[in-house]
């Protein structure tokens, strides 16, 4: 009888945790059959829970990161605390910092993001409006064109005071502004395609939040700017972190690791070195597979380009990709 009771309890727990995951990251009913099946399950006693997470902090706020990582590698992170945990996994905060120190850093970063966003909004008032663009707002030579919002219901003058607000006649700055504005509708088009199966992105406000963060990041990173795939990296972060500024900084720290993936020049791609490493590994681990791929003209492993660039976001389910990321962040 005791064994039967324990088995029933396990089955009930597994059912509850599956439902719990669905509640955190609900999928649109019409998309359920079209997305990869989620393999990850919350494992009581192994998954990092809210209780274990709180217990990992000292009285002053120092985090026992080694203990946390051991728990994560055993069973991932419970959805209710992923946002807070990821800020440490991505290096936003030093585990040896105190509660007070982190609060100060958080406030400074929120203020800095606000400054950058205001700067962008002066150039493109659409930013921060809850809307976003999917059509070009300027021509290649910087001339304004009629612009429509993502819903095509409202028109906003998005060109505004770009030159005057940022210092006028500097040709280098003018070029930067033009290049940045030319990317905004490309970001918008990618936003529309991002995680379309999730209920979260049925809200235009949430899509606009993603667009705002990517647009601000593209402005401050003048060297790399925005590249397709960054939307896939940013999307989970804005879902896990409600505060937009906190999500921005988490994304910024993720990009500090992944930035080279998106750096492309004539004849080279950002993940080229990783593709080369993958080829060498497969050649040693599974020489028959490597030989087969070479016979299919796949020896350069370009088929793995997307997998490596966006860390398997599109190959695995949303939940499984989160688990993969958090076990490899540190």
Q: Is the model's pLDDT at 153 over the cut of 90?
A: no
- Looking at residue 41, its pLDDT comes to 87
Burial of 168 (0-12, 13-18, 19+ CB in 10 A): exposed
In this prediction, residue 158 carries a pLDDT of: 43
Give the pLDDT confidence score for residue 4 in this predicted structure.
36
pLDDT tens per residue across span 192-218: 999 999 999 999 999 999 999 999 999
Which of 12-26, 95-109, 147-161, 261-275 has the highest average model confidence (pLDDT)? Answer: 95-109
> Please, where are the H alpha helices in the chain?
2-24, 50-55, 65-75, 82-89, 99-123, 162-165, 171-193, 204-220, 230-240, 244-258, 272-285, 287-295, 305-309, 318-328
- What is the pLDDT at residue 242? 96
Q: What is the per-residue pLDDT across 130-149, written as a single tens digit (0 to 9) for each?
A: 999 999 999 988 888 864 45
- Within 8 A by CB and 6+ apart from 324, the residues are 311, 312, 316
215-268 pLDDT tens trace: 999 999 988 899 999 999 999 999 999 999 999 999 999 999 998 888 776 566
pLDDT in tens, 75-113: 999 999 999 999 999 999 999 999 999 999 999 999 999
The model's pTM is 0.85
5 has a pLDDT exceeding 80: no
User: Could you give the domains of the chain?
Assistant: 2-89 (no CATH), 99-262 (1.10.8.270), 272-328 (no CATH)
């Amino acid at each position: 009888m005791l064994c039967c009771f324990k088995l029933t309890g396990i089955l009930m727990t597994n059912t509850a945790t599956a439902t719990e995951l669905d509640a955190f990251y609900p999928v649109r009913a019409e998309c359920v059959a079209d997305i990869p099946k989620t393999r990850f399950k919350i494992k009581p006693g192994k998954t990092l829970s809210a209780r274990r997470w709180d217990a990992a902090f000292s009285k002053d706020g120092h985090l026992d990161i080694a203990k946390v990582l051991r728990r994560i590698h055993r069973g991932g992170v419970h959805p209710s605390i992923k946002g807070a945990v990821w800020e440490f996994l991505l290096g936003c905060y030093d585990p040896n910092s105190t509660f007070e120190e982190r609060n100060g850093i958080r406030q400074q970063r929120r203020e800095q993001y606000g400054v950058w966003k205001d700067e962008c909004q002066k150039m493109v008032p659409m930013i921060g409006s809850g809307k976003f663009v999917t059509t070009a707002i300027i021509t290649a030579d910087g001339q304004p064109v009629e612009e429509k919002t993502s819903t095509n219901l409202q028109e906003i003058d998005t060109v505004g005071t770009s030159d005057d607000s940022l210092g006028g006649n500097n040709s280098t700055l003018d070029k930067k502004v033009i290049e940045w504005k030319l990317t905004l509708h490309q970001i918008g088009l990618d936003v529309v395609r991002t995680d379309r199966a999730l209920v979260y992105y049925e809200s235009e406000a949430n899509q606009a939040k993603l667009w705002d963060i990517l647009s601000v990041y593209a402005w401050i990173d003048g060297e790399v700017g925005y590249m397709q795939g960054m939307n896939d990296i940013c999307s989970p972060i804005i879902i896990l972190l409600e505060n937009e500024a906190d999500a921005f900084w988490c994304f910024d720290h993720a990009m500090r690791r992944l930035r080279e993936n998106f750096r492309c020049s004539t004849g080279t791609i950002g993940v080229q070195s990783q593709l080369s490493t993958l080829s060498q590994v497969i050649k040693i681990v599974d020489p028959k597979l490597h030989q087969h791929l070479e016979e299919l003209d796949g020896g350069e492993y370009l088929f793995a380009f997307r997998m490596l660039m966006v860390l398997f976001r599109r190959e695995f389910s949303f939940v499984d990709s989160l688990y993969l990321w958090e076990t490899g962040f540190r």
